[in-house]
Each structure stands twice: as C-alpha cells, then as structure tokens.
Amino acid sequence: MSVSSRLQPFGVTIFAEMTALAQAHDAINLGQGFPDWDGPDFVKQAAAESMRKGGSDQYPPMPGIPPLRQAIADRYSAKLGREIDPDTEVTVTCGCTEGLFASLVGLVDPGDEVVIINPYYDSYPVGVAMAGAVPRHVVLRPPDFRLDVDELAAAFSDRTKAILLNTPHNPSGRVFDRAEMEAVADLCIEHDVIAICDEVYEEITFGPEHIRLATLPGMEERTVTLSSVGKTYSLTGWKVGWAIAPHHLTAGVRAAHQYMTFTTPTPVQHGAVAALEAPETFYDELRESYRAKRDLLADGLTSVGFDVHIPDGTYFMLAGYSRFSGEDDRAFARRLVEQVGVAVIPPSVFYDDPADGHSLIRFAFCKQTPVLEAAVERLSRLSPN
C-alpha cells in the first residue's frame, strides 16, 4: 500500500464504486450529481470563440482572468450587499473543490480544529486531513435535518479555526434558515472562527431563501464564499469555481492556490464570463425545471413506497426504505442496482459515523425526465418486506 497515511482512511470514493456497479448491471444512474445534458450553448460558444480567436492557450493570471473576476465581483456585490474588489477579493479556482482545499490549506494550521456538518460533501474530511487539522463533527438528523444549536456549540472551542458550511445542503436538500445561520454566525464570532461556505447549489432552491453567511453582521470579515459553474450552469466538467473573501482571507486562499493548481484553464474561464452574465430568466428557468423534476421523482418514489424527504434546494433527495428492507443503506443500494437496475448513493459514507446515515438512500434528480420516469417504473417492481 503506497497511499500516504494521511489519505489511507478515505479509500475509493463511493461514486466510483456505484458507477462501476451501475455499468455492470446496465442500471439507470441516479447516483452521481451531474446533469445528463450539456451546458448552455451561449456559454460553450464563448469558450470556443476564445480558443478560435487565439490568445487563450497560455497560463492565465494566477487569480483568474480579469474579465471573469470582474463578472464574479459584479454578480456577488449585489448578492453579498457590499462592493467586492475583483483584484483583492476574488480568486478563480479549479471548481469549488479546489477553493475548499485552498481555503483549508491556506488558512488552517496543523492541529487546528475544523467543524464539519454531517452528512457532508465527501471532500470535506479529506481537505481537513490534508491541512493536518482535526475534524469536529456535528450531525443533522432526520426527519428535519435541522442544525442542533447545542450540538453545534459543543463542537466549538478555543482550538476551532474554521467551520465548513454547505447551504443549500447536499445531500439533505436543506436550505438553512435564518435562525440556524445566525447560530453559526454567533459561534464564529464568539470563538473567532473562519467560515468556509460552500454555496454551489445557491441557485437551485424551491421556495426558502438562500441566506449567505457572509451577509450576517460581523461575518463579512471572516467568511470565504465558494461556488462554481458546475451546478448552476450544468457544467460540472469545466471545473471553474471561485473563492470570494476579504483581502486578508484571500491572501491565504491564494497562498495555497498558486502552488496547488496555479490557475484553471483559460478558455473555460472565458466561457464562465458569459455564464455569469446570463439574464435572471436563466436562473428562473433552472429552478422551474428542477422543481418539476423534484416533484416528479418525489411523487413517483412516494407512490412506490419510499419515505421521501422533500428537498428545499439542491438536486438531491433522501428517502427512507423501511417498507422494502431492514438492510443498511450500502446493502440496499447494492440490491437496487442488482435487482431493479437503479443506482443511488448510500449516504452513510457522508458521515463520520456511518451508523448515523444507514437508513436512507440518496437520489440525484439532475436527469432528463424520461430517465426519472424510467427509474420510478423500475423501482415499482420492488417488493415490500
């Protein structure tokens, strides 16, 4: 075994495992969180045009090409309610994931503690490990997946350096409300903690307002806001993301980013400029389309016999399956692929203690309508306990 001791605990991602299984059984794959359609033409054309006309083939500036940083600053100045400086407060990264790693490695010291909300995007504990930091886990529990303020407070101490907060939240579909966000802010201020906010699903919400931690009083100077083109513009393969933070935090993000990746490919940065300039109707249509998919899948799963947790945001849906089986989620997910040909993700892999998530499975509904319909049809063949 030549994997470093730092990374050995994490093994192979569940996505690789479930995708291989899905392929072997010719299953409908509602596991991985990427759309089964292409990104918008106007964005692809902007990237293609930048390649065609030349000047896009060499290293772009380390923090990102100026027009993209400007487009990010313009869009987020409105969202964050303050004037963002594209030169000192915006860094273009290789997807949100690199922004996350750069934030952790650039701002957190070995031995510091980092609060992680469970279930988590599976890169979080790996990023914390790579920074040499110590994770402190806080669990969201069904049926409502609310942040328990007492549990959260117990995870903070004078050793806490940062919290990783993802809202809208994958995989629960929660959009944390103002009381929850204020509780996080109060603890960050009390313990002088940096908030690293993963907002990749910021535009995929179905009613509740997406509250940005950076906009709460006292949080602007201690928050790194991360996002990317992946989910909002259906361009997960482009890996163009950004980190927005006040100058003193941006210095840390860039200190890591300049040596991790240095930059992200130039043509897709030009494409991202066009994406960020999309009219508001683009986002309305995105939400409407995902709302229809959410409702279709939720109704279908409910009629088949699953206990659906209706998401307020993201394109994921958790569902209980006690009507069909008492197995743990990994065993049940494996059986779903093998017996009915539908691949899902067992969310226990997103918890520090897998037992906290072993009675649910996660469906991704970023798939074309006939694919979702076919999945429901296959699932209707499941026989109850």
Ligand X SMILES: Cc1ncc(COP(=O)(O)O)c(C=O)c1O
Residues near ligand X (CB under 6 A) are 33, 95-97, 121, 166, 170, 198, 200, 228, 230, 236, 239, 241
**Least distance to ligand X from the beta carbon of 30, Å?**
14
Residues 6+ apart with CB under 8 A from 191: 156, 157, 158, 160
Helix (H) or strand (E) segment spanning residue 118: strand 113-118
Query: Considering beta carbons, is residue 210 or 239 the nearer one to ligand X?
Result: 239
> What tokens appear for 322 in the block?
């006690």
How many residues appear in the chain? 385
**Least distance to ligand X from the beta carbon of 185, Å?**
20
**Least distance to ligand X from the beta carbon of 384, Å?**
32
Query: Considering beta carbons, is residue 168 or 252 the nearer one to ligand X?
Result: 168
**Least distance to ligand X from the beta carbon of 35, Å?**
12
Query: Considering beta carbons, is residue 121 or 324 the nearer one to ligand X?
Result: 121
Q: CB nearest ligand X: which residue?
A: 95
**Least distance to ligand X from the beta carbon of 317, Å?**
14
In angstroms, the CA 173 to CA 201 distance is 10
> What values do phi and psi take at 76, rounded to 5?
-85, -20
Residue 267, CA distances (Å) to 41, 54, 114, 261 in order: 14, 10, 35, 16
Query: Considering beta carbons, is residue 304 or 367 the nearer one to ligand X?
Result: 367
Query: Considering beta carbons, is residue 123 or 160 the nearer one to ligand X?
Result: 123
Query: Considering beta carbons, is residue 96 or 376 the nearer one to ligand X?
Result: 96
- Best CA proximity match to 297, nearest among 347, 344, 363: 363
**Least distance to ligand X from the beta carbon of 99, Å?**
8
Residues 6+ apart with CB under 8 A from 342: 27, 28, 30, 336, 375, 378, 379
Residue 85, CA distances (Å) to 76, 98, 103, 131, 247 in order: 10, 21, 18, 27, 9
Place of tokens 């802010």: 185
In angstroms, the CA 257 to CA 263 distance is 8
**Least distance to ligand X from the beta carbon of 264, Å?**
10
Query: Considering beta carbons, is residue 160 or 232 the nearer one to ligand X?
Result: 232
